[in-house]
Amino acid sequence: MKFTIATSVLLALLPYVALGNVAHSRSGVQGAAYFLTNDPTGNYIVTNTIGPDGHLTVHSAVYAGGKGLGIPSSLAPSDGLFSQGSIQVVGNILYTVNAGSNTIAAFEINKSDATKLTPIGKPVNSGGEFPVSVAVSQKTGLVCALNAGAVNGVSCYKLTPGGLVPVPNTRRIVGLTQTTPPNNQPGPNGLSHVIFNEAETQVLVAIREPSGGAGRLAIWDINAKTGALTQNYTEFVIEGAHATFGMQVLPGKNAVLASDPAIGYEIFDFNTKRNKTAPYNITGQVATCWATYQEKTGNVFLIDSLLPRISEVWVDKNLNSGLIKNYALDNATQALDSAIATVNGQDYLYVLGAVTQNIDVFWLKAPGAATNVQHLLFTDPLAKLKIPQDSKHIQGMAIYLTGSW
Ligand SMILES: *[C@@H]1O[C@H](CO)[C@@H](O)[C@H](O)[C@H]1NC(C)=O
Ligand SMILES: *[C@@H]1O[C@H](CO)[C@@H](O)[C@H](O)[C@H]1NC(C)=O
Ligand SMILES: *[C@@H]1O[C@H](CO)[C@@H](O)[C@H](O)[C@H]1NC(C)=O
Ligand SMILES: *[C@@H]1O[C@H](CO)[C@@H](O)[C@H](O)[C@H]1NC(C)=O
Ligand SMILES: *[C@@H]1O[C@H](CO)[C@@H](O)[C@H](O)[C@H]1NC(C)=O
């Protein structure tokens, strides 16, 4: 991209403008894929257009309204937040975290041009320190942030035309002994991910305790009238599991599949509330962290950051489960968050690569037949946009498809 006078003017208008506008035909653009720079000098949402063949093009960067921050880690230095869900799209609203500013922010996505993001009000305090994950419930209108720092737990908001507004009696502390940013991870006492259960009657938080703990979730019930969360959380523990990281609701099954960086994954069965499904080993795994559900097949894709490898697993109606296939990524990748989108009837899996500074695009032709169709490098396009970012900070992956809302 050439830096024109118009671009310099845009730069001067920081913070709330989109930088750059890599010239290419708008026609055929199906939507956008977003990730976060999470940089301590300023956090940006990077927008990438999705073409008719599912391929991506880096487009622009939009100031997220605060600063990023990374967790020091000797084992996985390229994993800024150790979280899933740092950027979320529900309807045509994008939600994200500013981990270094203790805020969360909401943006309206232009329905005809998904690279255009307009802030809705100002970022709001996340109710704790080091926000890493956001969950959105359309049924209750709750937007819940997960804080993983010295003050850790959840805090919920509702979206108004003027911005996010805290909902009374939703600030709930987990109370792990932690620092801001969290201490060297993976280590004891990590919070990774917040989601709602399928019925959207509960808030679920994944708790990591790699040093000898069990796989566990913290669960708060939502008051249907007020949106308030129960005062204390209950726990759902799977013994034999080690650490829950990224979660996926298994639709129609009243269960949640969670990745387990020490083993592979586990399935929390809310029908029985027991660990009748023992944790699942993924042979040879090193750090299975991010989980993405494919609606079309009911399969889940799990990202092993350190191998680096993607595992596709099946789950049947009785919550039996097993591996379908492993897919290799470049050795240097250190893969992070992923998302799936259906473009022109075909499913594509988008995987953020931290060290390789890329997004790998897999065409999910059929179960067990994922094919890597693009290796999009973003270092140069982001340098041209003058957006500071590095492998120690980038995080998140979310999709908006035009016409989906
Ligand atoms: C969305 O983008 C289109 C195309 O650039 C523009 O014409 C329209 O005014 C925008 N809509 C809003 C609500 O900003
Ligand atoms: C529930 O929360 C209240 C208020 O924080 C606290 O006093 C009480 O001890 C908690 N109860 C349990 C069982 O943890
Ligand atoms: C969970 O499974 C483990 C073995 O994996 C077993 O030792 C434990 O008793 C089970 N706990 C419950 C509550 O069923
Ligand atoms: C999982 O792997 C561990 C260590 O490799 C092994 O001890 C355990 O028996 C395995 N569990 C299952 C259910 O295969
Ligand atoms: C990745 O590393 C493994 C083990 O060191 C090696 O066998 C393999 O050839 C490497 N693959 C690539 C693509 O470099």
- Ligand 1 contact, 21 CB (< 6 A): no
From the CA of 123, how far away is ligand 3's center (Å)?
43
Q: Which atom of ligand 2 is nearest to the CA of 232?
A: 1
Residue 273 has what pLDDT? 67
- Ligand 4 contact, 240 CB (< 6 A): no
- Ligand 3 contact, 239 CB (< 6 A): yes
- Ligand 4 contact, 234 CB (< 6 A): no
pTM of the predicted model, to two decimals? Answer: 0.90
- Ligand 3 contact, 277 CB (< 6 A): no
Question: Long-range contacts for 117-122 (Cβ within 8 Å, ≥24 apart)?
Answer: 117/18, 117/45, 117/47, 117/62, 119/16, 119/65, 120/93, 120/159, 120/161, 120/162, 120/163, 120/164, 121/160, 121/162, 121/163, 121/164, 122/65, 122/163
Q: What is the pLDDT along the chain (405 residues), one digit of tens a residue?
A: 333 333 333 333 333 334 433 333 346 899 999 999 999 999 999 999 999 999 999 999 999 999 999 999 988 999 999 999 999 999 999 999 999 999 999 999 999 999 999 999 999 999 999 999 999 999 999 999 999 999 999 999 999 999 999 999 999 999 999 999 999 988 878 999 999 999 999 999 999 875 556 788 999 999 999 999 999 999 999 888 888 999 999 999 999 999 999 899 999 999 886 655 678 999 999 999 999 999 999 999 999 999 999 999 999 999 999 999 999 999 999 999 999 999 999 999 999 999 999 999 999 999 999 999 999 999 999 999 999 999 999 999 999 999 886
From the CA of 258, how far away is ligand 4's center (Å)?
17
Cα angle, residue 75 at apex, residues 74 and 81 outer, rounded to 5°: 85
Is residue 170 within 8 A of residue 228, CB to CB? The reply is: yes
- CA nearest ligand 3 atom 5, residue: 240
Is 28-401 a CATH 2.130.10.10 domain?
Answer: yes
Is residue 122 within 8 A of residue 151, CB to CB? The reply is: no
Nearest to 341 by CA among 400, 291, 257: 400
From the CA of 113, how far away is ligand 1's center (Å)?
7
Residue 115 has what pLDDT? 98
